[in-house]
Amino acid sequence: MSDWELRRRDLLKTLGVGAGCLPFIHSSRAWAAGTGAPTKLFIVASTEGYRQANWRPKDGSLLTQTLPDSSSPVEPHKADLIFMPGLTHPTFSGPRHGGFCSQLTAGPVSGVGEYQQAYSPSLDQVIGNALAKTSNVSRAQLNLGVMTSGGVTPEGNNSKWCIFKGKDQSVIPEQDPWKTYGDIFAGVTTSTAPASTQAAATKLLAQRKSILDFVGTDLEKFATRLGTDDKVMVGGHLQAVRDLEKELLATTSTTGMSQAQCGSGLTPATAISATDTSKYADVLKVQMDLGVMALKCGVTRVVTLQMIDASGSSIPFNFLPGISGTGSAGGAVGASLRGWHDLAHNPVTNGVDMKSIVDKWCMLQFATLLDRIKAIAEPGGTMLNNSAVLITNHMEDGSNHDTQKLPWILAGNCQGYFKTGQCALSTGNPIGGVLADIYNAMIPDAPVTYFGDATNGKPWVGLRA
């Protein structure tokens, strides 16, 4: 295996591309030796809660019930899910949206006012840093976001992010998918690549050509030296990279911009459409795909994705059928458009529950994410069998701002650790216990007794198989 790793590194160095341009084929040989596939974590942080009457399943088994309308998109995945609709956030005592910041730390917070900062690292940082010490990954974590820099006026940065390295040390998620793609797949920010190679890769991206036009032939030749299974893996990987590039190009808005400006993604001022709210759905899809590909390729074992900031005021959902009317609350997107925050405060217009339409659309995005993860074969079944996918929210419903009845969802049994296929008896149980169980599922050889807060962070009965 060490010889293979040297050959792999030599190939990537010669090509001058990022680690994501070639899957960790050697991992299949390790699996064959009986070591099993590595566990993986994907966290999605959302906002504004859900209309509970249309979203919340009945307590108990999901397999003996049909999910409510807003949750119906994940019906095909319900055997892999744990709904947790009543979680508490004990260390956050403030009102409204402020709990967004500390939901993944579940520990003490600092500062005054609504949006208080965490004292401690968030779950992804703790797990990612621990795994990076023993795993062959180039990133401890991959932190992505979708238009998270709007924030809540006048709260500023405190309302934008929920990932922390430590006390008052927020992590700004990467919002430009082209930059992430260029880093992982093109290697354009890799200092070890020759300058001429970096320039060539950068030029291809700027011209909106496939990075595989640059390295694909060499990878295909390399694949001829592999066994049948590994050839299939390389072929599938190359196709997935091309599909990602097509999605990236589909999100590009060329109005008033040159082709090179639209494609480069290397300068924030000329980034493709990471701040174009009309492209929100497209950018979200690409960010999810980038996260899944990063896990598949072994670039990292921990991915976070912020769907938005603490309120979603800047995101107009008028692209969805049935959403119409004039915004009145959090109208940052314009008086004629319906933002996330506005819809939460005014869910029903002319007899139509428009917030439930948004809730259902969000659940469809989660279902699509699970589709992608389950499509990747690994020992034990699929990548989902070896993963924990956590979907968080920092309030029960945007219309009530209840921060002590949080509706979270967990997907994947993480190699048999979790008891999926249920709506757990979560009411009154703390989010810290969920985070502690996820940590223990990911790092079973060094379990913790609590996460975030010794009093409220202990695992609670009901999640483990």
Output the DSSP codes for 150-179.
--BTTTBGGGT---EEETTEE---B--HHH
Grade residue 279 by pLDDT with cuts at 50, 70 and 90. Answer: confident
| pLDDT score for 284 | 94
Grade residue 211 by pLDDT with cuts at 50, 70 and 90. Answer: low
Of the two residues 401 and 392, the one the predictor is more confident about is 392
Grade residue 434 by pLDDT with cuts at 50, 70 and 90. Answer: very high
| pLDDT score for 167 | 86
AA letter at 399? S
Asked if pLDDT for residue 367 goes beyond 60, the answer is yes
Asked if pLDDT for residue 101 goes beyond 60, the answer is yes
Distance in angstroms (rounded) separating the CA atoms of residues 140 and 171: 13
Decide: 90 and 383 in contact? Cβ < 8 Å. Answer: no
How far is C-alpha 454 from the geometric centre of its chain's CA atoms? 27
**Looking at domain 40-175+276-465, which CATH architecture does it have?**
3-Layer(aba) Sandwich (3.40)
Distance in angstroms (rounded) separating the CA atoms of residues 195 and 190: 10
Asked if pLDDT for residue 385 goes beyond 70, the answer is yes
- What is the rounded average pLDDT of the residues 77-100? 91
The boundaries of every CATH 3.40.720 domain in the chain are 40-175+276-465
| pLDDT score for 33 | 46
| pLDDT score for 114 | 78
Asked if pLDDT for residue 261 goes beyond 50, the answer is no
| pLDDT score for 121 | 95
Give the gyration radius of the chain's Cα atoms.
Answer: 22
Residue 396 phi/psi, 5° resolution?
Answer: -65, -50
